[in-house]
Homo-oligomer: A and B are copies of this chain.
């Protein structure tokens, strides 16, 4: 019998712990697995031999259920990219020696692009060095929805549900006064605009933002101001969604500002994108403007997670564990969409080499010609992903979470 190791990496989400729950659930059921270890703070914990035995902490269905509804990465996380195996193998040597020291035959790494790069490099190293008794498996996670070889990413649906719900609620708030008001909401996403586009889901409740500027298209601030000016002639309250990573036609981030932005110490500062756009609207139009950042709330509001997302995230963890225990290596648990209506997916393994370091952006045809909104096709694609609510357990009026480290 061997031990299984699992770790989490990259930015937190409301669903990454459901994937962890799936891995643990299947490892607990397997007669090939002795102990289940979690590495603290991702691959950093593996390198430092900082492991915690989590099988006994999660041995009841109640604890696994609670884990599914705990936001962020219960094992901690890191943002560490390993060097290429052809330039420096020292990290890989260390990892293998730590795995051997702890009798670990199976390693599941849950994360996004960078984490799949780790799975890729580590499985390549294992193959090149004929290490047969250690199997490596990736399990996907990213609110950004930008992984390739998967229909959509676990974590994205819950974040999208938070965003669509928030736009529905903000819509009630923003229109409360009969004065001209512009509300600019900044949403996470440096390179892919999926999350920003998910604000369009609020169309299903009649509360879509008036404009959506995703980072796949350049934002011309002159056009931006005229979009808003024209809309203010039609209606009092204009609501805008914008990606934090949107750039101008000159290729510079909007958050760098039209002029340098100074903090209170006189240092040049990268302001928030919404905040810069607020300054522009206030100066050019002069009406009441508000900038809102959905900030960490969008990725940690587990009380508003999508039941579909939590279910799929857990299933991907189950698949990753089952597959790696069965001897698969160098792959990622994935899902393809069979149909949208009725919504149906098929789970399978994908070759990790096609996933590591690749990035899936919004297809051009899902963004409107003017570059200030998305099309209904993207709503159709996203709609199933936010369906269903999760049974959050409250105690003392607040959600209950589980603590592993």
Contact = CB atoms under 8 A, between A and B. Distances in A.
Interface string A24-46: 00000000000000001100100
A183 to B, nearest CB: 8
Interface stretch (A56-64, A112-120, A225-233, A382-390): A382-390
A1 interface: no
A19 interface: no
B173 A399 contact: no
A397 B201 contact: yes
Interface stretch (A68-76, A86-94, A329-337): A68-76
B265 A71 contact: no
Given A290-B296, A296-B174, A398 B259 contact: no
A169 interface: yes
Interface string A288-304: 00101111110111111
A258 interface: yes
Given A72-B172, A294-B297, 5 more contacts: A12-B176, A72-B175, A76-B178, A79-B177, A292-B296
A264 B261 contact: yes
Interface in A263-283: 263-267, 269, 271, 276, 279-280, 283
A394 B164 CA distance: 12
Interface of A: 12, 40-41, 44, 70-74, 76-79, 161, 164-166, 168-170, 172-178, 183, 201-202, 204-205, 257-267, 269, 271, 276, 279-280, 283, 290, 292-297, 299-304, 306, 383, 386-389, 394-401
A279 B296 contact: no
A78 B70 CA distance: 40
A303 B303 CA distance: 10
B400 A205 contact: yes
A388 B395 CA distance: 9
Contact of A398 (B170, B300, B386): B386
A172 B70 contact: yes
14 contacts: A70-B172, A71-B169, A78-B178, A161-B397, A161-B398, A169-B300, A170-B300, A257-B264, A261-B262, A265-B279, A292-B295, A293-B293, A306-B397, A388-B397
A212 to B, nearest CB: 17
Nearest 3 CB-CB pairings of A with B: A386-B397, A72-B172, A257-B264
Contacts of A260: 264
A115 to B, nearest CB: 14
A276 B301 CA distance: 26
Contact of A204 (B172, B176, B398): B398
B396 A73 contact: no
Contact of A389 (B71, B258, B292, B394): B394
A169 B303 contact: yes
A74, A260, A388, A394 — most chain B CB neighbours (10 Å): A394
A300 B172 contact: yes
Contacts of A267: 279, 283
A173 B276 contact: no
A124 to B, nearest CB: 27
Nearest to A282: B263
A267 B306 CA distance: 43
A12 to B, nearest CB: 5
B296 A297 contact: no
A397 B382 CA distance: 11
A40, A178, A283 — most chain B CB neighbours (10 Å): A178
Contact of A264 (B263, B266, B279, B299): B279
Contact of A177 (B70, B77, B175, B290): B77
Nearest to A293: B293
Contacts of A295: 290, 292-293
